[in-house]
A and B are shown apart, each in its own frame.
Chain A
Amino acid sequence: MEILLQELPIAILMGLIGAIVFALIGVVSGTDETATLAPLTLVVILIGVPPAGVFTFFLAGAISKHMTHAIPTMLIGIPGDTMAVPLLDDAARMRALGVPHIALRKAVSGAVISSFIAVCAAVLFAWLLSPFGDFIGGIAPWLFLVAAVGIAYSSPAKLAGVLALVPFVALVLGLQAWTGTHEVALTISYFLGIAIGPMIVDLFAVLAPLGRAELRRDEPSQVYLAPDTGFRKGGSRSFPNPFRILDRRQVTAVAATSTISSATFVFSPVAMTVLMGELVRARIKQGYQRLSSTLTAKNGTTESTYIAEALIPLIAFGLPLSPVAAGPAAPLFNAPPVFETNPETGTIDNLSTALSTSQFFAYGLLAAVLATIIAYPFAMRYAHAAARFVVTKVSHEAIIAAFVGLVVVVSLWEGGIFGLLVSLTVGLVGGMLIRIVKVHAGVLFMGFYVAVLSVPGILAVFS
């Protein structure tokens, strides 16, 4: 309790910073979670913020982002980030009905309720699983392999995704061996390369005459910003109450889907969002009720999968055994010299060893509270103004400039010219796999872990 109180001020401060920063990033469409959450969390860890502050920063950031990502998704029809993609069709239909403001309020309210439920459910599931932690640690190399194959097969690429893992893992192994001869060990450069891969592929395509011809358009993109009539009407000054914006059936749907999707922490969050949406959709007869409830449950799932997929591996295993833990939450496990995880050598010195289960629970709830205080009223009141600002003032050239800069900074910082070469190589190859073979980034994150954890472990068994 004493430690809890000692670290509480820094936890609150960092949680607030995370909530504010990611509430704003969430409004900018196309800002991938891994590309934004991972580097900023890494910075927070490396500047020496205590573990409680690191955790609340990450979690409040993730929760806030998945509230405000609904703003571009519902109002403009451009996904706020990767997790918002499954919401697009329902959002388009709500816009067609002329009620994007209701869609937004429902989605964000679903996110609020879901995040509180998910923190509790994730801690409970983690507690149930933790007796098996040592056993899981022992079979981790195989587990990563099985998880990678499973996630690859459940991606739209199916068998092609599984097969594509082989050359990708070989590429990572080769790059690791090469940088290893120069005593350079890299992790974040790989993650960043995978997360920004599709952008790198497009930038290469622009350089090639034939690729450029394919990307040419006669007209600029058409953006339909939903009219703001509904938004003006509902701009009340008091703090919004999610239980008044959702009806009882919708609250039940969110509660059920967020609990289920917290338990399935090894699956892809995007796939779970689609699945939970279909689960709700199949049970409701009236069209409008079905549409608004599906949308609510889906956005709730974007929160619960992220929370559970970060929390359960942290509490129960100390190993990044989920797509979120392997991607956006990777710095919580590996941020040398502060955090290091290597099941092969038995080194587990990361956020999981720095905080106890009760601390994870308390700070997890704190992160949900802070994100709700910041992002919820912001999304409910200023959605239209924020969306209008982004589409009329923030050019896509500016977003690309910032992300190109991010790749350069983080990779050069991590490994000098080797880091930059690794980011570019992994980005180009990974991006092509994402574009052409249709695997998603989660498959490639797992591929990275197969290369660094499974392959050495499995080779050791047979040698």
Chain B
Amino acid sequence: MSRSPEPGTPGDPGTAPVPGPSGETKGQYLFVWNDTVRGNRLVIGVVIGIVCALVGLYGGRALIGLFISEEELIDVWSLVTGIVGCVVAGFITAIAFRPARVVSEDAHESGRIAAAVEEMAAEPQGLGTLEEASELSRREIEEAGLTEVFREAEARAAREGSER
């Protein structure tokens, strides 16, 4: 099963490929702070963040000033309303723009079981044997259907060991 929160709605300027100056449609995503975003949406998000922050901080200060007269308390509570403003900014942006990620839940990595076991065997400590694992670990391996995989890898490691 593969799902994408990136639906590419027709006519949606955010997801439609943006032709570059030379007419190419490549590279509509930007890798910013460890994840992909779309340039125009990033700009809007940053603007929303700044506006909500300012409204939260200074708007909150004015609003609280109507109820409280002590300057120090107004100051402190304006920080609270400012941070609420940041949360609101995140909320608005999350509702406006769906994530630029492709999420899949298929067993894509299941083909990597053998590779993962090989990697363990290649560590300086080797793969060891299931008998060396605790009872709980053996049960976890069994429930995940991995007992055979480990047994085979053990046998292979033992063969390679004796050949050397």
**Chain B residues with CB below 8 A from A284, complex form:** 125, 128
- How far does the Cβ of B133 sit from chain A's closest Cβ, in whole Å? 4
User: Given A289-B133, A292-B140, A401-B89, A215–B32 Cβ distance below 8 Å?
Assistant: yes
**Chain A residues with CB below 8 A from B89, complex form:** 398, 401-402, 404-405
| Total cross-chain contacts (CB, 8 A) | 282
User: Given A98-B107, A290-B120, A397–B37 Cβ distance below 8 Å?
Assistant: yes
**Chain A residues with CB below 8 A from B6, complex form:** 220
Q: Which residue of A lies closest to B3 (CB)?
A: A392
Q: What's the Cα separation between A216 and B48 when bound, in Å? A: 23
**Chain B residues with CB below 8 A from A288, complex form:** 120, 133, 137, 140-141, 146, 150
- Contact assessment for A392 and B57 in the assembled complex, using a CB-CB cutoff below 8 Å: no
**Chain B residues with CB below 8 A from A48, complex form:** 76
**Chain B residues with CB below 8 A from A337, complex form:** 72
Query: Is A227 part of the contact surface with B, judged by Cβ < 8 Å?
Result: yes
- Contact assessment for B79 and A410 in the assembled complex, using a CB-CB cutoff below 8 Å: yes
Interface SS majority for chain A? helix
- Contact assessment for A400 and B42 in the assembled complex, using a CB-CB cutoff below 8 Å: yes
Query: Is B39 part of the contact surface with A, judged by Cβ < 8 Å?
Result: yes
- Contact assessment for A408 and B53 in the assembled complex, using a CB-CB cutoff below 8 Å: yes
- How far does the Cβ of B149 sit from chain A's closest Cβ, in whole Å? 9
| Interfacial residues of chain B within 103-139, with CB under 8 A of chain A in the complex | 103-110, 112-113, 115-117, 119-121, 123-130, 132-137
- How far does the Cβ of B114 sit from chain A's closest Cβ, in whole Å? 9
- How far does the Cβ of A410 sit from chain B's closest Cβ, in whole Å? 7
Q: What's the Cα separation between A206 and B32 when bound, in Å? A: 8
- Contact assessment for B36 and A220 in the assembled complex, using a CB-CB cutoff below 8 Å: yes
Q: What's the Cα separation between A410 and B53 when bound, in Å? A: 9
Within 8 Å by CB of B76, from A46, A203, A286, A400, lies: A46
User: Given A401-B89, A403-B49, A404-B49, A93–B97 Cβ distance below 8 Å?
Assistant: no
Within 8 Å by CB of A409, from B83, B101, B110, B146, lies: B83
- Contact assessment for B101 and A398 in the assembled complex, using a CB-CB cutoff below 8 Å: no
- Contact assessment for A402 and B86 in the assembled complex, using a CB-CB cutoff below 8 Å: yes
User: Given A97-B113, A220-B102, A392–B5 Cβ distance below 8 Å?
Assistant: yes
**Chain A residues with CB below 8 A from B102, complex form:** 219-223
Q: Which residue of B lies closest to A205 (CB)?
A: B32
| Interfacial residues of chain B within 3-35, with CB under 8 A of chain A in the complex | 3, 5-6, 26-35
What per-residue 1/0 map shows which CB atoms of B71-102 lie under 8 Å from chain A?
Answer: 01001111110110111011111100111111
- Contact assessment for A289 and B109 in the assembled complex, using a CB-CB cutoff below 8 Å: no
- Contact assessment for A96 and B57 in the assembled complex, using a CB-CB cutoff below 8 Å: no
**Chain B residues with CB below 8 A from A355, complex form:** none
Which of A215, A286, A410, A413 gathers most chain B CB within 10 Å?
A286
Q: What's the Cα separation between A400 and B110 when bound, in Å? A: 33
User: Given A96-B115, A413-B79, A206–B133 Cβ distance below 8 Å?
Assistant: no
- How far does the Cβ of A447 sit from chain B's closest Cβ, in whole Å? 22
Query: Is A315 part of the contact surface with B, judged by Cβ < 8 Å?
Result: no
- Contact assessment for B103 and A285 in the assembled complex, using a CB-CB cutoff below 8 Å: no
- How far does the Cβ of A246 sit from chain B's closest Cβ, in whole Å? 8
- Contact assessment for A397 and B101 in the assembled complex, using a CB-CB cutoff below 8 Å: no
**Chain B residues with CB below 8 A from A393, complex form:** 5, 94, 98-99
Q: Which residue of A lies closest to B112 (CB)?
A: A96
- Contact assessment for B93 and A95 in the assembled complex, using a CB-CB cutoff below 8 Å: no
- Contact assessment for B35 and A396 in the assembled complex, using a CB-CB cutoff below 8 Å: yes
User: Given A95-B109, A397-B93, A221–B120 Cβ distance below 8 Å?
Assistant: no
- Contact assessment for B35 and A404 in the assembled complex, using a CB-CB cutoff below 8 Å: no
- Contact assessment for A413 and B109 in the assembled complex, using a CB-CB cutoff below 8 Å: no
Q: What's the Cα separation between A292 and B138 when bound, in Å? A: 12
Query: Is B155 part of the contact surface with A, judged by Cβ < 8 Å?
Result: no
**Chain A residues with CB below 8 A from B62, complex form:** none
- How far does the Cβ of A92 sit from chain B's closest Cβ, in whole Å? 8
- Contact assessment for B86 and A409 in the assembled complex, using a CB-CB cutoff below 8 Å: yes
| Interfacial residues of chain A within 369-408, with CB under 8 A of chain B in the complex | 388, 391-406, 408
Query: Is A202 part of the contact surface with B, judged by Cβ < 8 Å?
Result: yes
- Contact assessment for B83 and A43 in the assembled complex, using a CB-CB cutoff below 8 Å: yes
**Chain A residues with CB below 8 A from B113, complex form:** 96-98
Q: What's the Cα separation between A24 and B9 when bound, in Å? A: 31
- Contact assessment for A223 and B49 in the assembled complex, using a CB-CB cutoff below 8 Å: no
| Interfacial residues of chain A within 218-249, with CB under 8 A of chain B in the complex | 218-228, 230, 246-249
**Chain B residues with CB below 8 A from A282, complex form:** 124-125
User: Given A216-B29, A217-B36, A223-B103, A398–B76 Cβ distance below 8 Å?
Assistant: no
**Chain A residues with CB below 8 A from B34, complex form:** 30, 78
- Contact assessment for B53 and A405 in the assembled complex, using a CB-CB cutoff below 8 Å: yes
Binding site for B on A (CB under 8 A): 30, 39-40, 42-43, 46-48, 78, 93, 95-99, 102, 198-199, 202-203, 206, 212-213, 215-228, 230, 246-250, 281-282, 284-292, 337, 388, 391-406, 408-410, 412-413
When A and B form their complex, which 10 residue pairs have the shortest distance between CB atoms, in order from nearest?
A: A402-B90, A287-B120, A216-B27, A409-B82, A405-B86, A286-B128, A285-B128, A404-B49, A398-B94, A401-B49
Q: Mind listing 10 A-B residue pairs with CB under 8 Å?
A: A43-B79, A47-B76, A281-B123, A286-B133, A396-B32, A397-B45, A403-B49, A405-B85, A412-B54, A413-B78
